[in-house]
């Protein structure tokens, strides 16, 4: 009996509203709206004026030709301060949910993040008393609609609570005035190390209904959904149709439509039981006042039955909507559940330039046609297992009393970008599979890609992924390796076609051989083939890309604590090639590469001159990684070669850049003393790998002194320590030499905090990251769309960005620290 009670307790704990997470009432409004419309100083604008003019010409000509704008600085996306946990697994498209209950932000098209909120996509509750009189009917959202005027939202948002802990969310509706309490539990299949379920395009909603009154209640929960994604022009162009179904123990409706000629099927399904009756609506006009189905629910608590004599399929040209409803009777002081699935089967995608068809990874299990019913059935049968996996993943963090409360929310909720970052998880076609070695993970796990940001449309921007990759490496290491094998192949690729760079007007080769590319291409063009879509600088000469590739290789090879020899063998040629090529950047032959005096690294508007702490540090850490990998493969000559350069480079680095307190920004006359928040980036990575404690490159005393300098200047002297670490700080104030020096980069702040934790500065690390995260979530509502950059007041840049996934390096640092200190 004790075992049974224990199991019941564990089961309740797994589905209960967690203590930690993003928590707001449904009437919550943020006090500090922010915009992306930051205006730099006149001096900066003047310096950038030639590039601005070239950009405007590029923008106009590309728009006229209908070509993809990789980085749209004209139509900037303004944060809506509405978002909650998104729906869907990894790489098969996502549908956003707002914390007020709305369906918002669609990432189903491979080349577009659509910030639309669709009024016709709703949950509706209908409550009837024991006489079957309707006593309450309302949309289960407090977001203000602009259409469907008959549909009313009568909720008291102050009595309804939202909790988001990605990939699950809970909404509690206090309808005790009508004798009912509702809890909606939203579950998406995002489970670490589970490559079967985590790729699925679906979400499950479990509605727990409690009758707290002294009379029987009849409760109906309806789900309505329209074709398309809320972009009116595109929605109207699609031919749509619907079909009702009964499959296994599920009943519902499939809504067939197309997104720019790519077939998609929305499936709304409810589990039918002896206590839950399912009704279906095959069609309603989402542009009407909505009275037809609203009145049906109000009168009957269900939709009119679909007659066997009437058409069971409805066709239309343009927009249409469908609905399902689950109705149940609940006796006094009892509970009942209604289980629903929403799925979107869009198996094949097409990129616009080459019109090549790619299949999403889930088609490996469910096929490339008519998989909708298989998906919803699989989801209903397995969602409890998903919850077990999610709970077990999160439990060690949530139960750790030494971790701050905000962090327990931040770690998981910042992970939203893994699925909601324009992510593509694609199967590899048979022709390519034949060419791959048995050790190549793409053969089994497919190809993985995600955007640099919702507005920066480049897949796998490697300078940024360097930070974000810890999230994949720790939770889905095979996806990280798959991405890295793509990158390895790109190293040797040459694309001789010419591109005009917007920064200086130079015409350069798109991709030079023997160099790490900036990105895997633009989804609005022909990704994976036409790589290096970044149009501003010649990335073939960037100083950080080559060493970052080497460091990621070494990190991925050592994630288990024991070096993966096969992986090192597969990557070694590419690593050796790019490192030897980078030697040309060592102008004075002192073992240390120099920057060019133009933006040539991830801080692409912040010029570094001569040797720099950022790029020089990465170079030295990569040299160290090469010595370790050469030793592993018994390449003794290579090991000796890289050790010699490393020894010389370390001496030069300390001589040129160490000033007694921290590492200088670079070797320029005016800006060298700027305290750069990311100056210890390379030490951070060595710490993540596990070699940081050996201090093979940077002396421990220097590392800890530099961290104290950064904390005292970039953190505490900026917004009173409440906004993270500003990138640059000089002469007692924020460095305003460029736009990026005066920004807080969210991903850099998390990386810096991780470095502090690695070095035992626990309180300082959590304060650095915590001030920033709490400001985003409590003051200006940038959660589930975390930007690249924040300013002290009023503004942000690059909404929905990849780099903040670096927060997983904080967890890595914390776990390693606990192993050491106990």
CB 222 within 8 A of CB 207: no
At 371-410, the pLDDT tens digits run 999 999 999 999 999 999 999 999 999 999 999 999 999 9
> CA–CA separation, 675 vs 706, rounded Å?
9
Alpha-carbon distances of 260 from 135, 231, 351, 487, rounded to whole Å: 43, 11, 11, 29
Instruction: Report, in this order, helix, strand and coil percent for the chain, each rounded to 5.
Output: 40, 25, 40
Average pLDDT over residues 187-196: 98
Q: Is the pLDDT of residue 686 over 80?
A: yes
Compute the CA torsion angle 174, 178, 179, 183 (nearest 10 deg). -30
Q: Is 449 left (phi over 0), alpha (psi -120 to 50) or beta?
A: beta
| Integer Cα distance of 768 and 617 in angstroms | 22
Distances (CA, A) of 653 to 557, 590, 592, 621, 688: 27, 9, 7, 12, 22
Radius of gyration for the alpha carbons in the chain, expressed in angstroms and rounded = 27
pLDDT tens for 214-254 read 999 999 999 999 999 999 888 988 899 999 999 999 999 99
Closest CA to 754 of 810, 706, 687: 810
Say how far apart CA 114 and CA 125 lie, in whole Å.
Answer: 28
For residue 8, pLDDT beyond 80: no
Give the C-alpha separation, 531 to 520, whole Å: 5
The domain made up of 116-388 is a member of CATH 1.10.3210: no
Q: How far apart are CA 250 and CA 1, in angstroms?
A: 34
Helix (H, G, I), strand (E, B) or coil at 696: coil
Using alpha carbons, select from 603, 534, 537, 503 the residue that is nearest to residue 55.
503
Is-contact 527 449, C-beta < 8 A? yes
- Long-range contacts: 714-721, Cβ < 8 Å, 24+? 714/675, 714/677, 715/764, 715/767, 715/768, 715/771, 718/744, 718/792, 719/771, 719/792, 721/767, 721/768, 721/771
Annotated domain spans of the chain: 116-388
Q: Return the DSSP state at 159.
A: G
Distance between CA 257 and CA 37 in Å, rounded?
Answer: 37
Is the separation of the CB atoms in 793 and 35 below 8 Å?
no
pLDDT of 38 strictly over 60: yes
> Does pLDDT of 633 surpass 70?
yes
Instruction: Summarize the confidence of residues 793-800 as an average pLDDT.
Output: 96
* Residue 692 reports pLDDT greater than 90: no
Q: Name the average pLDDT for the chain.
A: 95
Could you read off the pLDDT of 271-329 as tens digits, one per residue?
999 999 999 999 999 999 999 999 999 999 999 987 655 555 666 778 999 999 999 99
């Amino acid at each position: 009996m004790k075992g049974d009670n224990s199991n019941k307790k564990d089961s309740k704990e797994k589905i209960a509203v967690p203590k930690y997470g993003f928590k707001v009432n449904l009437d919550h409004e943020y006090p500090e709206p922010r915009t992306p419309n930051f205006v730099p100083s006149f001096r900066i604008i003047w310096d950038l004026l030639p590039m601005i003019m070239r950009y405007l010409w590029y923008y106009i000509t590309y728009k006229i030709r209908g070509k993809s704008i990789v980085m749209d600085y004209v139509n900037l996306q303004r944060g809506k301060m509405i978002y909650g946990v998104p729906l869907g697994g990894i790489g098969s498209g996502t549908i956003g949910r707002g914390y007020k209950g709305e369906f918002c932000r669609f990432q189903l098209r491979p080349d577009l993040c659509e910030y639309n909120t669709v009024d016709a996509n709703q949950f509706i509750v209908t409550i009837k008393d024991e006489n079957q009189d309707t006593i309450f009917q309302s949309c289960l959202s407090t977001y203000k609609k602009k259409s469907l005027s008959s549909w009313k939202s009568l909720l008291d948002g102050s009595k309804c609570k939202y909790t988001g802990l990605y990939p699950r969310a809970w909404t509690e509706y206090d309808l005790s005035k009508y004798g009912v309490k509702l809890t909606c539990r939203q579950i998406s299949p995002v489970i670490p190390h589970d490559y079967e379920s985590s790729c699925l395009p679906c979400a499950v909603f479990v509605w727990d209904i409690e009758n707290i009154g002294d009379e029987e209640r009849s409760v109906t929960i309806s789900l309505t959904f329209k074709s398309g994604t809320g972009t009116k022009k595109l929605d109207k162009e699609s031919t749509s149709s619907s079909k009702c179904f009964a499959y296994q123990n599920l009943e519902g409706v499939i809504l067939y439509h197309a997104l720019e000629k790519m077939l998609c099927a929305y499936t709304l399904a409810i589990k039918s039981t002896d206590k839950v009756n399912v009704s279906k609506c095959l069609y309603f006009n989402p542009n009407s006042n909505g009275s037809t189905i609203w009145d049906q629910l109000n009168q009957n608590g269900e939709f009119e039955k679909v007659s066997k004599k009437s058409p069971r399929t409805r066709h239309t040209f343009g927009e249409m909507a469908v609905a399902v409803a689950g109705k149940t009777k609940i006796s006094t002081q009892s509970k009942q559940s209604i289980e629903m699935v929403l799925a979107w089967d869009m198996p094949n995608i097409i990129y616009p330039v080459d019109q090549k068809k790619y299949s999403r990874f889930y088609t490996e299990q469910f096929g490339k046609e008519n998989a909708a019913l298989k998906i919803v059935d699989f989801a209903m049968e397995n969602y409890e297992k998903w919850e077990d996996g999610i709970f077990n993943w999160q439990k060690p963090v949530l139960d750790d009393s030494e971790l701050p409360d905000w962090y327990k929310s931040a770690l998981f909720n910042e992970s939203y970008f893994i699925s909601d970052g324009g992510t593509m998880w694609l199967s590899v076609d048979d022709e390519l599979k034949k060419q791959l070695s048995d050790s190549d993970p793409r053969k089994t796990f497919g190809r993985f890609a995600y955007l640099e940001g919702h507005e920066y449309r480049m897949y796998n921007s490697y300078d940024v992924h360097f930070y974000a990759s810890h999230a994949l490496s720790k939770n889905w290491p095979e996806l990280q390796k798959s991405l890295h094998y793509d990158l390895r192949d790109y190293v040797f690729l040459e694309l001789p076609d010419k591109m005009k760079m917007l920064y200086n007007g130079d015409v350069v080769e798109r991709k030079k051989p023997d160099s790490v590319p900036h990105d895997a291409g633009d989804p609005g063009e022909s990704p994976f083939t036409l790589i290096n879509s970044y149009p501003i600088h010649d990335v073939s000469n960037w100083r950080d890309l080559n060493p970052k590739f080497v460091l990621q290789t070494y990190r991925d090879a050592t994630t288990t604590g024991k070096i993966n020899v096969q992986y090192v063998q597969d990557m070694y040629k590419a690593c050796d090639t790019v490192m030897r090529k980078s030697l040309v950047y060592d102008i004075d032959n002192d073992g240390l590469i120099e920057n060019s005096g133009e933006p040539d690294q991830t801080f692409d508007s912040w010029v570094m001159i001569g040797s720099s702490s950022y790029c020089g540090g990465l170079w030295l850490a990569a040299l160290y990684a090469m010595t370790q990998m050469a030793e592993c493969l018994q390449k003794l000559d290579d090991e000796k070669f890289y050790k010699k350069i490393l020894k010389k480079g370390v001496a030069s680095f300390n001589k040129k850049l160490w000033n007694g307190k921290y590492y200088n920004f670079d070797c320029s006359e005016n800006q060298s003393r700027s305290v750069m928040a990311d100056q210890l980036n390379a030490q951070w990575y060595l710490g993540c790998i596990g070699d940081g404690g050996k201090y093979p490159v940077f002396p421990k005393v220097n590392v800890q002194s530099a961290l104290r300098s950064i904390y005292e200047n970039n953190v505490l002297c900026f917004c009173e320590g409440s906004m993270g670490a500003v990138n640059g700080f000089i002469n007692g104030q924020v460095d305003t030499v460029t736009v990026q020096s005066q920004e807080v980069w969210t991903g850099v702040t998390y990386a810096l905090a991780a470095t502090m934790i690695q070095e035992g500065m626990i309180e300082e690390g959590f304060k650095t990251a915590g001030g920033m995260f709490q400001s985003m979530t409590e003051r200006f509502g940038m959660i589930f769309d975390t930007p690249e950059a924040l300013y002290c007041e009023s503004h942000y840049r690059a909404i929905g960005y990849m780099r903040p996934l670096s927060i997983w390096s904080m967890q890595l640092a914390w776990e390693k620290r606990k192993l050491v200190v106990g």
